[in-house]
Structure 1
Amino acid sequence: MTGAALRVEDRGDFVLATLDRPEKRNAIDLAVIDALHELCASLEAHPRTLVLRGAGGAFAAGADIAQLRERTAADARAGINTRAFMRVHALPMPVIAVLEGHTLGGGAELAYSADIRIGTQSLTIGNPEPGLGIIAAAGASWRLREIAGEGIAAEIVLTGRILSGDEAFAAGIVTHLHADGDAAFATAVAIAKRVAALDPAAVQASKRVLGAPRSAHPQVDLTEQAILFDSPEKHRRMTAFLERKQQR
């Protein structure tokens, strides 16, 4: 799939989706949201690891303010960005975000929806929405707290604090930090290739249990494990492991 707002490429071990509005620092407009829904529909039907990045040295500088200014209370209740980002987060295989330059507002919330975030030294990430008379309502208020903890989440959401790449790494918002986007993308590719070597059913089950509420454990883990224990792929992989061990 190729679109003006979101370029989607099949890279074999993963799907690469690039936010491609560099003249707007990849601000998220309705065209991007529609493209994300189209991409999610494809990955829900045919699960693959997704790598998200932005073109032109930025991930996404926020939502498109010109469009956001015209949205109404009904639009807020519809959760235009929220629903798209929740769908990204719920994809069956891992989502990896490469964060370079401006990653603000809605762009930060899209980044928070990824499972793994890789940053660069140029990264600036945060939620300045209250300065525009709105709140960060597309995931920051609950997802950021789970990622970085109550204190950092409160300072970002309540004060509009913008974190540098080093600060985001220290807070655990990104788990890798690189000098530039090329190095960050190379790490994303390496992670995607590592995932591709695993059993897809086990990866998808791992993502489901990781996202389950605390009250669902341990039963959700045991249920998923019971399915995998009876799978031919589990038997094949364990047999191959034991045969390799015997040959050493």
Structure 2
Amino acid sequence: MGEFVRLEVDGGIGTIRLERPPVNAINGQLQAELGEVAREASDRADVRVVILYGGEKTFCGGADVKEMADRSYVEARAFGTALQNTVSTVAVIPKPVIAAITGYALGGGLELAMAADRRIAGDNVKVGQPEILLGIIPGAGGTQRLARLVGPAKAKDLVFTGRFVKADEALSLGIVDELVAPDEVYNAALKYAQQFANGPAVALANAKAAIDGGLDGDLASGLKLETHLFTALWATEDQTTGMRSFVENGPGKATFEGK
């Protein structure tokens, strides 16, 4: 485990914890550790679902501006590329990923949250892409994932102004998917994650790949991808177990031990 990022595994649920007080600002070391932990979570068979969590006070305040300020063009490009790659590594974890958001998710912190498949937030959170106020733009996927979540016009408003968005607006825009009391954020994420801890792991991975891959191309390409991933499941224990259980016990009775 790294100094700033660690993976805790319990009952099929892997929690990726950011631990760089006070706001989990992303410096070069945290970025590198996060990439390593995300790859570990992807590879471990005992991790069936992932929670991203920054602790009770804040999710992630974004990139470490003090570290960034004096970087040269070459250094900034290297860090930006590495951070974007790390966030993308989180996004392609072949398992459901839930962001448990407390406090603030700003800049790179919001970009990390948007790499998750579902975002559960405290009803006092503030999110945003304030990079424009620093004379830069989002560089870890913010211009792309935000536009896909809320549409280009709303994404431009948020990126152009750099304003902070409160919880209720974040919910209405679709930036977050669920609001709970601030002290219930992790428990709510855990409750949501538990339904996947013994679920059909390969089918879930294929479902995620089909949806995410389809968004990258046209409808025809997406349909071909869906057909490929759909039929591939006939070579897995997920399909055998699920359909046999359905036939024998009826819907809602399947127990999965697929690989």
Name the TM-score, length of structure 2 as normaliser: 0.89
Equivalence for 1:184 = 185
**Structure-1 separation of matches of 2:96 and 2:237:** 23
- One-letter amino acid of the counterpart of residue 214, structure 1: G
Equivalence for 2:26 = 28
Task: Map 1:68-79 onto structure 2 (within 5 A).
Answer: 68-78=68-78, 79=81
- One-letter amino acid of the counterpart of residue 39, structure 2: A
**Structure-2 separation of matches of 1:111 and 1:236:** 33
**Structure-2 separation of matches of 1:122 and 1:20:** 21
Equivalence for 1:133 = 135
TM-aligned CA distance change 1:232 to 1:97, over 3 Å = closer
Task: Map 1:89-168 onto structure 2 (within 5 A).
Answer: 89-168=91-170
Aligned residue among 169, 172, 184 for 1:170: 172
Equivalence for 1:58 = 58
Tell me the number of residue pairs that the alignment of Structure 1 and Structure 2 aligns: 244
Structure 1 unpaired stretches of 5+? none
* 36-45 or 167-176, larger mean C-alpha shift: 36-45
Deviation at 1:145? Answer: 0.6
Aligned residue among 37, 40, 49 for 1:39: 37
Deviation at 1:115? Answer: 1.2
**Structure-1 separation of matches of 2:16 and 2:236:** 32
**Structure-1 separation of matches of 2:4 and 2:238:** 39
Residue-by-residue CA offset, 1:189-233 (whole Å, 9 max, x unaligned):
122111123210000000110111232221001111111134343
- Secondary structure of the residue aligned to 2:250 is helix
* 232-241 or 128-137, larger mean C-alpha shift: 232-241
TM-aligned CA distance change 1:233 to 1:187, over 3 Å = same
TM-aligned CA distance change 1:21 to 1:242, over 3 Å = same
Contact 2:202/2:236, CA 8 A, preserved across alignment: no
- One-letter amino acid of the counterpart of residue 217, structure 2: R
Equivalence for 1:7 = 6
Contact 1:117/1:174, CA 8 A, preserved across alignment: yes
- Secondary structure of the residue aligned to 2:196 is helix
TM-aligned CA distance change 1:41 to 1:231, over 3 Å = closer
**Structure-2 separation of matches of 1:92 and 1:203:** 8
- Secondary structure of the residue aligned to 1:167 is helix
Contact 2:53/2:101, CA 8 A, preserved across alignment: yes
- One-letter amino acid of the counterpart of residue 53, structure 1: Y
Contact 1:128/1:160, CA 8 A, preserved across alignment: yes
Deviation at 1:56? Answer: 4.4
Point out 4+ residue stretches in structure 1 off by more than 4 angstroms: none
Equivalence for 2:241 = 236
- One-letter amino acid of the counterpart of residue 75, structure 1: E
Residue-by-residue CA offset, 1:6-47 (whole Å, 9 max, x unaligned):
132112221111111222x11111121111111122123225
**Structure-2 separation of matches of 1:200 and 1:226:** 16
Residue-by-residue CA offset, 1:76-135 (whole Å, 9 max, x unaligned):
433121111011111111211011111111111111111111111121000111111111
**Structure-2 separation of matches of 1:114 and 1:41:** 14
Deviation at 1:242? Answer: 1.9
Contact 1:20/1:26, CA 8 A, preserved across alignment: yes
- Secondary structure of the residue aligned to 1:195 is coil
